Amino acid sequence: MKNTFGNNLTVTLFGESHGEAIGVVLDGLAHGMEVDTCYIKKLLNARKGLSAVSTPRREEDDFQILSGVFQGKTTGTPLCIVIKNNDTRSGDYALTKDLARPSHADFTAECKYGGFQDYRGGGHFSGRITAPLCAAAGIIIPALLKKGIKIGSHIARIGEIADRDFCDYDTDFDILANKEFAVLDDSKETAMIEKIKDVKAQGDSIGGIVETAVIGLPTGVGEPWFDSVESVLSHAVFSIPGVKGIEFGKGFSFADMVGSLANDSFKNVDGKIVTETNNSGGINGGITNGMPVVFRTVFRPTPTIAKPQNTINIKTKEDAVLQAKGRHDPCIVHRARVVVDSITALALADILVTRYGTDWLSE
């Protein structure tokens, strides 16, 4: 299960950044789910990011569904999607292949795979492998929407520049739906883009935060201990390259609060039990309480930068200085937003079919 996530609806990733292709296998899907290839392409396009502040690598991400779909509907058997790699420049990595990029997976990959790993572009560790996740979510998200479950994320922060918080979820989700640079406050877009351009010009990179909300989830979903909603979502989200933290609701801000202000009081609104506030992020005891599930994901600055960095030669164990080659993002946050949406959908779908049965997504 090293490259597979899920219990009843599983997602398996394969491929390397500079290999012939990358892809995903979804197993445990219900039969009869509609497959909209245009929507899959929309998610893949959203992941590409803006040319001025993203990697110069340009992949069309043309995909092929090899199995599991017949006449536009899922068959219920394993569904395999393959995406070709075309715009590769593997020679960029040949001269520095033995130099471990600081804070990258080069050294740990060497330790785990004994030198047999594909080092080009990060190989299987590359953010390139998030493209199949988006393709898989292109099948799951529409099915969740039919159940009234909506997922939306915005760029909450890049560096010190912060977007506004979610206000009205339905309205905000509509605002974000077709945005290339997913902020809620348009005035922040220019400032964030200029910030990324500035660090790029200095040969550096920058991190940020993505805030995600899920509305429409039924109450009573999740488990109290090891498969709590927070546990499953964290497990999934931490698989995205560059993620170094996650918090739900008020998260680490709880450390500065007292219980009387932190607690979410209950009330009855038109026969429905809701909470006055949503400090707990829609989850109590690992189980959904019917309020929006809200969490924030922090992304580290991209580890591969243009500045010289001290490192080690993995083979000789001699000290060295790395002047990285290749094409890299000065910031991945704006591209990662749709990846967070995608893996959230996949994780929640597994939780939901575990609760309601495999065929629930197509009912």
Q: What pLDDT was estimated at residue 51?
A: 67
Domain that holds residue 314: 4-362
Q: What pLDDT was estimated at residue 12?
A: 98
Give the predicted TM-score (pTM) of the model: 0.95
- With b for 16 or more beta-carbon neighbours within 10 A and e for fewer, the 216-253 pattern comes to bbeeebbbeeebbbbebbbebbebbbbbeebbbbbeee
Please give the distance of CA 313 from its chain centroid, rounded to a whole number.
32
Q: What pLDDT was estimated at residue 48?
A: 87
Number of domains composing the chain: 1
Q: What pLDDT was estimated at residue 1?
A: 52
Q: What pLDDT was estimated at residue 118?
A: 87
**Host H or E run for residue 107:** helix 106-113
Count of alpha carbons within 13 Å of 308, Cβ hemisphere only?
3
Q: What pLDDT was estimated at residue 228?
A: 98
Q: What pLDDT was estimated at residue 157?
A: 98
Q: What pLDDT was estimated at residue 304?
A: 87
**Host H or E run for residue 12:** strand 10-15
CB atoms inside a 10 Å sphere around CB 203: 13
Mean pLDDT by 10 residues, the chain (363 residues): 90 92 97 97 88 69 95 98 82 78 91 90 88 97 98 97 96 93 95 95 95 98 96 98 97 97 96 96 98 98 92 93 80 95 98 96 90
Q: What pLDDT was estimated at residue 56?
A: 62
Q: What pLDDT was estimated at residue 9?
A: 97
Structure tokens given for 195: 């910030």
Q: What pLDDT was estimated at residue 313?
A: 94
Q: What is the CATH number of the domain that holds 18?
A: 3.60.150.10
Q: Are strands 208-215 and 319-322 parallel, antiparallel or unpaired?
A: unpaired
